[in-house]
Amino acid sequence: MLRRIENVHILCMDEEYHEYHDSSLTFDDGIIVAINDDSLKVDEVIDGKKGILLPGMINAHSHLGMMPFRSLGDDCKDRLRRFLFPLEKRAMTKELVYTSSLYSIAEMLLGGVTNVFDMYYFEEVVAEAVKEMGIRATLAETILNDVTPDSDKPYGGIEYAKAFIQKWKDKDPLIAVALGPHATNTLSKEKLLEIRDLAKELGVKISMHVSEMDYEMTYFKDTYNMSPIEFLESINMLSDDLLCVHVIHTSDHDLELLQKYDVPVAFCPGSNTKAGKGVARVYEMLQKGIKVALGTDGPSSGNRLDVITLLGIVPRTQKTYYHDRSILSAKETLSLATLKGAKALKQDHQIGSLEVGKLADMVLIETDSVNMFPIHDYYSAIVYSALPSNVSRVWVNGKELVKDGKLVYHDLSKLKEGLLMAMHDFNKIAKELSEDIA
């Protein structure tokens, strides 16, 4: 079915940053077939009401199953060990991951995210939630040197991931699969090597938390006299298929290594700054041609899962860190969530920009609300003025999933109710842990 969106300002987010005022875009099922060609006879005309049409935004790092944790112990010093690990061990179930993933995806879609890279447990039901909601996703089962919610032995994630990848690889146009070793310091060297070889054998990417924690840096310094990134080089793990998440603490040599091996980075400034961990040197990474995408992190660490909120934080961290307001323009910031982000995930041949032949993953931002006037610069309006609530319509693969700011196929209150019911035991234990601390 041929459809044309008219009366929109288009930010193509292609290499040349083409931008068209009062324009139209035509798409046929899942593919963009024309920009500003009104001669094509279409089945449906959609009035964009002077909104801004841009490519769907990419969230390169999240944990969809962690919605139950949102707002729990946010200011607690050792939150990971006080709340997260005990609750995951005692209360994280398959049902909770499923209902949480549905709700998390709803928030992403409503905020203009059309593509997410997830790392968590029970990825089998995350895949079901992705299918149910219609978002595009890369799914990686987390692998850890400990028992996990879906395995009663350390490294059980390896077997889980193998079966999961075999089941889902190249099976669904919206779902890609990957391996998710948890972090540089939570797996043995031998297991990291095994995962490196497994990724090659299965032909999948790896995503891992890297150079995030102070104690991680100390551990590698004391054990190997190296940084985590130098360590990864020493075991031949650095490559363009290793998505390094966070990468907060880096030496000049680390940046040289990322550049040399073309290693992509997922920058998560919302969660990094909330935890007081520091600011990644993204401006310098970009200067070196290192590919950078943006991640909200999970709802427990980043709280919000829309990328629009994140866009406002990204340049602020860099301008403040380097004490220079002229760096990381709004235009380049938006590219991190679109074309540059797609490049980091090696998906730019299909998505990341509005170009003829690419897939119709698109977001329409309305400009009627109080915060969206005046607009001298459309990139600036999206990065600094827009709110997730300005997202009016969202298409993934040409299918409209959000219309007039509401989910087309799902009732948000029902998704919330389902999650709330699944959170019964979780909430009881969370209360006990909170009382222990108080």
**Residues in touch with Zn ion (CB under 5 A):** 297
Strands 265-267 and 362-365: unpaired
Residue 151 half-sphere exposure toward CB, CA atoms < 13 A: 21
SS3 content of the chain, % helix, strand, coil (to 5): 40, 25, 35
- DSSP-derived secondary structure for 402-431: EETTEESS--HHHHHHHHHHHTHHHHHHHH
The answer to whether the beta carbons of residues 386 and 77 sit under 8 Å apart is: no
Q: How far is the CB of 287 from Zn ion (least distance, A)?
A: 26
Which residue number, 107 or 297, has a Cβ lying nearer to Zn ion?
Answer: 297
Q: CA–CA separation, 409 vs 102, rounded Å? A: 12
| Closest approach of Zn ion to the CB of residue 410, in Å | 26
Closest approach of Zn ion to the CB of residue 213, in Å = 11
Q: Which of 238-269 are b and which e, b meaning 16 or more Cβ less than 10 Å from the residue's Cβ?
A: bbebbbbbbbbbbeeebbebbeebebbbbbbb
Q: Which of 148/353 has CB closer to Zn ion? A: 148
Minimum distance from residue 66 beta carbon to Zn ion (Å): 9
Nearer to Zn ion, 51 or 65 (CB): 65
Cβ nearer to Zn ion, comparing 211 with 353: 211
CB nearer to Zn ion: pick between 254 and 297: 297
Give the count of alpha carbons within 13 A of 29, CB side only.
0
Which CB atom, from 125 or from 183, has the smaller least distance to Zn ion?
183
Task: Catalogue the E-assigned strands of 248-373.
Answer: 265-267, 292-294, 362-365
Sign, CA dihedral 285-307-55-169, equals positive
Q: In angstroms, rounded to a whole number, what is the distance separating the alpha carbons of residues 297 and 416?
A: 20
Q: Of 122 and 378, which CB lies nearer to Zn ion in the complex structure?
A: 122
- Which residue lies nearer to Zn ion by CB, 68 or 134? 68
- Nearer to Zn ion by Cβ, of 31 and 80: the residue is 80
The minimum distance between CB 119 and Zn ion, in angstroms, equals: 6
Query: Cα 373 to the chain's mean position, in Å?
Result: 28
- CB nearer Zn ion, residue 48 or residue 302: 302
Backbone φ, ψ for residue 296 (5° rounding): -80, -20
Measure Cα distances from 24 to 35, 121, 222 in Å: 6, 42, 59
Strands (E), 56-112: 57-62
The smaller minimum CB distance to Zn ion, of residues 124 and 297, is found at 297
Least separation, in Å, of the C-beta of 245 and Zn ion? 6
For the record, the structure tokens of 253 come out as 């040599």
Give the residue at shortest CB distance from Zn ion.
Answer: 297
> Closest approach of Cβ 209 to Zn ion, in Å?
6
Closest CB 298 distance from Zn ion, rounded Å: 6
Q: How far is the CB of 305 from Zn ion (least distance, A)?
A: 12
Closest distance of CB 341 from Zn ion, Å: 16
Compute the least distance from the CB of residue 207 to Zn ion, in Å.
Answer: 9
Token output for 380: 């600036």
Spacing of C-alpha 296 from chain mean position: 6
115, 59, 136, 55: which is closest to 355 by C-alpha?
55
